[in-house]
Structure 1
Amino acid sequence: MTGWSFGSRIYGGAWSTPELQALFDDAPRTRRWLDLLGTLAQVEGEFGLIPEASAAAIVEACREVVLDDDFFARFAAGYRATGHSTAGLIDVIRQRYPEAVNEWFYFGATVQDVTDSWLMLALGEARALILADLDRSIAAATALCRDHRDTVMVGRTHGQQGLPITFGFKVAGWLAELRRHRRRFEEIEERMGIGQLCGGVGSLSALGRHGLEVQRAFCERVGLRPPLTSWTASRDVLVEWAQLLTLAAGTADRIGHEVYSLQRDEIGEVREGAVGEQIGSITMPHKRNPEIAEHLGTLSRVVRANTSALAESLPHDHERDGRSWKLEWHAVPELTMAGGKAVRLLGEMLSNLEVQADRMRANLDACDGRIYSEVLMLALAGKLGKQSAHRLVHQAAGRAGEERRAFREVVGQDPDIARTLTGAEIERVFNAGLQTAQCQALVDRVLAGGARDGAA
């Protein structure tokens, strides 16, 4: 039984996309390991490290071996018996193939040579998948920015109504953040895609006098760059990858939480688009829950927890330390799958987001004018000074609350304010459109910046 986790045939889709899952499942991972070992044998045969006939036989065996239930049962049994990561794989090949293959299979390489090279290939594909989903989020946020540049709503701080903004301005903040993540995913490419063929302590001692040439040929043939030196004990790039996914998933969580809050019935300013036969509750049929927004929070927590664990792999003892790098077997796949799933769900949510502009306006009007306190204070400050203006407006807001009267009405009847501002000046204060001009300018700036960057 696999429970509710990543490996569940029922619930596994909640934690990953099918494409990312396919990168880390046993069968595709083992197939790629065999491809790497076949290429290694081919290169070693060319350099005379193993017999050419054996090299050719190993290449054919790695290509044709059937990854059936019996294969994995024997592989697993070998791992349980020896406690060694790939001894079971070597034993399966030994049992299934003649001496020409099994005597020279896996020659000159250690576990991390295979697993690190595989991991860099897998993460390269994951990066491309995540970038594609990130582009969908960016495109959806760009469209929301443009469509709602002028849609006035309440800006909130500390969970309370603050000042008028536009919804496009809110989304512009999301968009700028998503673009920064995209650039980060592009920049990390130069530090990823590095192969590992360095041997037991990283010295290439098993690869003979042409070890560096063998290493280069192997890496280039499998689509990786040769390392400057062994990184068996240097795991900083993997932790950087995890931190990048933490940032991206954190943004998805932040946006999801915003949608979660604004979808509350008493606010009702946005809603997740209904998808297919989605059910909010099996006991309360009327409910339409923010399912994606909630799950973004869950996925982000999974990413952060695994990133925190992975950071513990940075301290290594000497040239290799199984206590540290074996932690990656759990943390890197989980945080990559969960982070990738979060980015994909974010794109789906933003692409189908329902914006209730009329409700946004109604909530702004329901403030009874108190949301214009700042601009009123600034208008008065030009004639009275800031502190005196703040005191007048604060007192008026207090009276409006105590007397349950509209703030605008109280302001209009305040003799001190009336002596300072004309009726036209007061009227201008309570005009939401005039108070959001800078929001609209900032939206335009974000959109223009994206066009320059080629990001939208």
Structure 2
Amino acid sequence: MSGSAFEGFLSTPQMLAVFGDQSVMQAMMDFESALARAEAAVGLITPAAATAIAGVCRAELYDVPALVAASGRAGSLAIPMVKRLTETVALFDTQAAQVVHWGGTSQDVIDTAMVLVTRRALALIDADLSALNAALLALAEQHVATPIMGRTLMQPASVVSFGFKVMGWVGPLVRCQQRLHAAAARALQLQFGGAVGTLATLGEQGPTVAQHMAQQLHLPPWQGAWHTQRDDWVALGCEVGVLVGALGKFARDLSLMSQGEIGELNEPTGAGRGGSTALPHKRNPVASMVALAAAQRAPHRVAALLADMSQEHERGLGNWQAELADWAGLFISAHGAVHALAEAAAGLQVNPQRMRDHIEALQGLVSAEACSTRLAGVIGKPEAQRLLEDLSKRVMSEHRHLRELLLQAVADDPRLQPAVPPEDIHRLFDADHAARHGAERAREQLARYRPLAAQLAAAKPFDVPESNLQDHSPQEQA
């Protein structure tokens, strides 16, 4: 499931391992072990049979690549796995071999395995997202009032504060984390319904068995099978896609601000990070690159998950299988993005002087809106705007500062001269003064998002006790 080398370098070894063949196979074995112990707890099979089954539910005992290879012909990874598990149990207990996978179906074991590995995947994403949010919030607080040029449609607009800009990155990320927690609480559910979702093979004991299994696997109480009801599951995938998009927004701005001729920000360097095979001076924004690559690919993954929802009757044909293949890729990309940006944010290099230099280089034009607003109170908005448009054109053609031209225009106008003193005009061109509104908004957002981010970081909803099912006897489960 790790894909090519090019997939791997855009993610992390930890996430690749989560969706690796060995990990998925062990999660399937965990399902089978939990099933056997739950059935023993309600008296459907003997404790000895449950112990015999659970004792060999360890992926390292099996030739996992061979099982994966056999799955294509069988039509499901669960079929060769259950067959080999049954054969292995029979080596020690022929009676126990008769009740392996009793009452379950292939989709039960595979979907539950995907839930278990997805929970681990979300734990990785959540930890790095908490670290990224904390780093960005600290950065916003440090530079809450640092002036920087705001840009719209890729062009200079008005002065804001760098803290305000950073909060534009971190606000969506905190909200994404909040929604991920909520979506996962609905989606990470035991899949258990038997052949058509009714648990008919287990009779009246079916729901009780399911509750025992959910408890063992540290999942919420069983609510019923969701074989072809993929809404909550796909909604979780969509939230991961939205997170990748929010990461892409941060990465896009970071990469633009890191351009050599801009130089307002730089990703951390060292240990071969961001180098070039030909140009020794380069500092390539590799974290941004990884996140932007994820943002390019996530929409297609999410679209595929949505397309896979129209599944037939009580078991999908082709669409469920396609969903399984697309799911891992989405998480692999997402963790590559959040991990890379969390590392970059922790060591981000900020250049406030370059931010001021870019404001000053525009010879006061970024203050044109503020000037127009100030004059509008005296001569009205239409006339004030026309005046500033004319003065702005002269700035460009005469290479003069807007402040100089505006001081002269005010001095020459008998309406403006007594109403707009020179100190007011000078204040309009003060970058720190201009950044105050952005700083105020940034402080408001910091007050809102700091406690929420801390709460989300402390929640750790995807951390569960290390579950070794072999440590619990069937009698204890009863």
TM-score range, shorter chain: over 0.9
Residue 427 of structure 2 is matched in structure 1 by 428
Paired with 1:310 and 1:287, the residues of 2 have a C-alpha distance of 39
Shift of the 187–95 alpha-carbon distance from structure 1 to 2, 3 Å rule, reads closer
1:161 to 156, 160, 168: 156
Where does 1:291-440 land on structure 2 (aligned, <5 Å)?
291-414=286-409, 418-419=413-414, 420=416, 421-440=420-439
Tell whether 2:64 aligns with 1:75: no
Over 3 Å counting, the alpha-carbon distance change for 1:244 and 1:234 in structure 2 is: same
Q: Flag the 1:415–1:146 CA change in 2: closer, same or farther, 3 A.
A: closer
**1:122 correspondence with 2:121:** no
**Matched letter for residue 445 of structure 1:** E
TM-score, normalised with respect to structure 2: 0.88
Report the Cα distance in structure 1 between the residues aligned to 2:141 and 2:18, rounded to whole angstroms: 37
Out of 354-363 and 168-177, give the one that drifted further. 168-177
Deviates more, 1:176-185 or 1:139-148: 176-185
* Cα separation, partners in 2 of 1:425 and 1:76, compared to 1, 3 Å: closer
Pairs aligned (count): 448
CA displacement at 1:154 relative to structure 2:
0.8
Query: Is contact 1:178–1:251 with CA below 8 Å preserved after alignment?
Result: yes
AA in 2 matched with 1:79: S
**Partner Cα distance (2:243, 2:229) in 1:** 24
Structure 1 counterpart of 2:3: 7
Whole-angstrom distance in 1 between the partners of 2:410 and 2:76: 85
SS of residue paired to 1:265: coil
Q: Give the secondary-structure state (helix, strand or coil) at the position aligned to 2:279.
A: coil
Instruction: Map Cα deviations across residues 285-314 of structure 1 (whole Å, 9 max, x no partner).
Output: 221111111221101222221111111122
**CA distance in 1: counterparts of 2:410 and 2:207, whole angstroms:** 87
After TM superposition, the structure 1 stretch with the greater mean CA deviation from structure 2, 39-48 or 193-202, is: 39-48
- The answer to whether the 8 A contact 2:82-2:100 is kept is yes
Matches of residues 202-213 of structure 1 in structure 2 within 5 Å?
202-213=197-208
Q: Verify: 1:289 aligned to 2:284, yes or no.
A: yes
Of stretches 425-434 and 23-32 in structure 1, the one that deviates more from structure 2 is 425-434
Structure 1-normalised TM-score?
Answer: 0.92
Q: 1:131 aligns with which of 115, 126, 134?
A: 126
* Structure 1 equivalent of residue 189 of structure 2: 194
**1:32 corresponds to which residue?**
27
Please give the secondary structure, in 1, of the residue aligned with 2:151.
strand
Deviation at 1:190, TM superposition (A): 2.8
Farther off after superposition, 400-409 or 108-117: 400-409
Q: Does 1:214 align with 2:206?
A: no
Q: Report matched runs for 1:143-182 at 5 Å.
A: 143-182=138-177
Tell me the distance in 1 between the aligned counterparts of 2:218 and 2:358: 56
User: 1:75–1:91: 8 Å Cα contact kept in structure 2?
Assistant: no
Which of 134, 137, 145 matches 1:142?
137
* Structure 2 unmatched runs, 5+: 456-478
From 260, 265, 270, the equivalent of 1:265 is 260
CA RMSD of superposed structures (Å): 2.1
Distance in 1 (alpha carbons) for counterparts of 2:101 and 2:262: 62
Residue 468 (structure 2) aligns with: none
Unpaired stretches in structure 1, ≥5 consecutive residues: none
Tell me if structure 2 keeps the 8 A contact 1:74–1:88: no
1:442 partnered with 2:441: yes
State how far apart, in whole Å, the 2-side matches of 1:83 and 1:190 are. Answer: 30
**Residues 146 and 432, structure 2, Cα contact 8 Å, conserved in 1:** no
Q: What is the aligned partner in structure 1 of residue 471 from structure 2?
A: none
